């Protein structure tokens, strides 16, 4: 992947991760630089693993792709689908995230392109989608744990366990991004290591002919596409805490590139080992089947290791998602979109109110079933991505001269063409949703449409206090100097 930097009437094509060395220049010279806090920033390695957990967390959950479509289409899907969806989303995140390196991420992009009303809608839909997604992980953790502790399978013990686990992981987020980042690194290594061992042990058992099995008359396209989509989205989530990243104009694009390679490999090679080493039975390829494969390939010890890694993976995904959700609320508060109390930080530099608010949403939604959660969060996520694509194109058209430390080497027409395939995919995912999911999701969207004017009314009545943080530039300002940036 390449980037292009425009400056002094010359363009250079550089590898993704390189950057210009110019300092950000605010739009208005009299505007002071935004608040710089004393808290330690996130470096590239923890950021890679935070992105990994935002998007993936390992191969847990990809088994349904084989059950739905067979080995060949599953393997092809996890090689081809990233180019249709993941690469465009990661590239847009790199460009927009370095253009607006502040907390709030995609909310800020949409606000700059379409105004605060649609920026708020973006924030509402993506926050709700993230919280719905995060409600999965305590439940999935207990699903793996119940094999060892049967009492957490149901009843009051399970409910109490969800509450205790949510509280413990929420406290980790409260303690600071540095702890969260390095916890993600540790959990990532634990999650991937057993699959490396399983891959090595599977080599003598591999039969390449098993990879080529496909039955076009017996494919569950809805399950297949939803599995690919769910396992390869959320690349933009890391943008909501760009303000906490060390040197984001350099670190963010580089981390996105490394994470993209990491995620694709973490899916493809375990699938390659599992489908090639064991005779195919599509009915068995469901969530959790990798543990059974590990037992066949390596024995009981490897099975337990994979189950433990799956449990740890859910913890990593929870803390990464909550970081993204809570810092998104902080960024929205700093922009005056929601009450300023959401902008308050704890002594560890974390958005205390945002964390508590997001944790409450997780607890309220944890009663939903796995299928309902995945379908609902996919539906809301798709709406948010449409707004992001529109914002990306509009900013290319409205503000082509604004400095972009990372820039996709495509003009306006190329950018539009790049967004067409993922947009078509979004339409397919939306069309495949059940009537129940559509109704619930549209109700959620309607709440957001009404919530913004309601908050504005409360602001005018001075029931709630709103404010814009000092040093943030005017997103709607006209910029003509190609050495200027929308953010200091």
More confident residue, 396 or 159: 396
The two three-digit tokens of residue 26, written as one number: 């605010």
Is pLDDT of 45 > 50? yes
- 322-360 confidence digits (pLDDT tens): 888 889 999 999 988 999 889 888 888 888 888 888 888
H/E stretch holding 248: helix 248-277
> Would you give the distance in Å from CA 179 to the centre of its chain?
19
- 214-243 confidence digits (pLDDT tens): 888 888 888 888 888 888 888 998 898 888
According to DSSP, the residues that pair with 7 across neighbouring strands are 10
- What is the 3-state secondary structure of 310-359? HHHHHHHHHHHHHHHHHHHHHHHHHECCCCHHHHCCCCCCCCHHHHHHHH
- Quick check: 161 and 141 in contact, CB under 8 A? no
Distance between CA atoms of residues 225 and 214, nearest Å: 16
More confident residue, 349 or 2: 349
Is pLDDT of 154 > 80? no
- Quick check: 136 and 366 in contact, CB under 8 A? no
Terminal C-alpha separation, the chain: 26
Overall average pLDDT of the 185-204 stretch: 92
Residue 18 carries which DSSP code? Answer: B
Flag the least confident range among 12-21, 132-141, 290-299, 393-402: 12-21
Helix, strand or coil for residue 144? Answer: helix
Distance between CA atoms of residues 86 and 76, nearest Å: 15
The two three-digit tokens of residue 370, written as one number: 């796995």
Overall average pLDDT of the 365-377 stretch: 64
Per-residue CA distances from 205 to 199, 260, 266, 277, 291 (Å): 10, 29, 20, 5, 17
**pLDDT more than 90, % of the chain:** 31
- Quick check: 117 and 452 in contact, CB under 8 A? yes
* The pLDDT of residue 329: 92
- 426-459 confidence digits (pLDDT tens): 888 788 777 877 887 888 889 999 999 999 999 9
| pLDDT category of residue 488 using cuts at 50, 70 and 90 | very low
- 305-320 confidence digits (pLDDT tens): 998 888 888 888 888 8
Would residue 133 be called left, alpha or beta, if left means φ above 0 and alpha means ψ between -120 and 50 degrees?
alpha
Of 473, 487, 476, the C-alpha closest to 399 is 476
């Amino acid at each position: 992947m390449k980037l292009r930097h425009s400056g002094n009437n010359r363009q250079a094509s550089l590898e993704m991760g390189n950057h210009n060395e110019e300092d950000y220049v605010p739009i208005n010279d009299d505007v002071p630089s935004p608040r710089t806090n004393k808290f330690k920033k996130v470096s590239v390695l923890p950021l890679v693993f935070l992105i990994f957990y935002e998007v993936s967390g390992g191969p847990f959950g990809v088994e349904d792709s084989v059950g739905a479509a067979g080995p060949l289409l599953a393997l092809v899907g996890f090689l081809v689908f990233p180019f249709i969806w993941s690469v465009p989303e990661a590239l847009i995140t790199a460009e927009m995230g370095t253009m607006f390196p502040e907390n709030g991420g995609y909310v800020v992009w949409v606000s700059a392109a379409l105004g605060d009303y649609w920026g708020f809608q973006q924030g509402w839909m993506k926050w709700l989608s993230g919280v719905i997604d995060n409600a999965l992980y305590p439940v999935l953790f207990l699903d793996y744990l119940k094999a060892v502790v049967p009492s957490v399978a149901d009843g009051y013990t399970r409910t109490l366990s969800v509450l205790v686990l949510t509280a413990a992981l929420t406290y980790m987020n409260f303690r600071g991004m540095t702890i969260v980042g390095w916890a993600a690194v540790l959990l990532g290594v634990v999650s991937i290591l057993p699959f490396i061992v399983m891959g090595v042990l599977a080599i003598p058992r591999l039969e390449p002919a098993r990879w080529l099995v496909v039955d076009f008359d017996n494919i569950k396209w809805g399950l297949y596409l939803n599995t690919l989509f769910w396992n390869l989205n959320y690349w933009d989530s890391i943008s909501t805490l760009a303000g906490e990243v060390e040197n984001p104009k350099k670190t963010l694009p580089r981390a996105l590139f490394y994470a993209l390679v990491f995620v694709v490999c973490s899916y493809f090679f375990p699938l390659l080992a599992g489908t090639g080493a064991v005779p195919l039975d599509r009915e068995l390829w469901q969530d959790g089947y990798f543990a059974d494969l590990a037992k066949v390939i390596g024995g009981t010890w490897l099975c337990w290791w994979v189950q433990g890694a799956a449990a740890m993976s859910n913890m990593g995904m929870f803390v990464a998602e909550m970081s993204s959700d809570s810092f998104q609320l902080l960024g929205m508060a700093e922009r005056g979109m929601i009450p300023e109390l959401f902008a308050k930080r704890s002594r560890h530099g974390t958005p205390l109110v945002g964390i508590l608010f997001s944790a409450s949403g997780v607890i309220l939604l944890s009663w939903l079933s796995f299928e309902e959660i995945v379908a609902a969060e996919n539906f809301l996520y798709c709406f948010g991505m449409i707004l992001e694509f529109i914002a990306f194109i509009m900013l290319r058209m409205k503000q082509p001269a604004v400095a972009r430390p990372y820039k996709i080497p495509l003009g306006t027409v190329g950018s539009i063409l790049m967004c067409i395939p993922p947009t078509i995919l979004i339409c397919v995912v939306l069309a495949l949703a059940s009537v129940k999911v559509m109704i619930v999701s549209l109700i959620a969207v309607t709440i957001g449409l009404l919530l913004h004017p309601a908050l504005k009314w409360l602001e005018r009545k001075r029931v709630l206090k709103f404010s814009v943080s000092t040093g943030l530039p005017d997103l709607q300002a006209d910029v003509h100097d190609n050495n200027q940036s929308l953010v200091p």
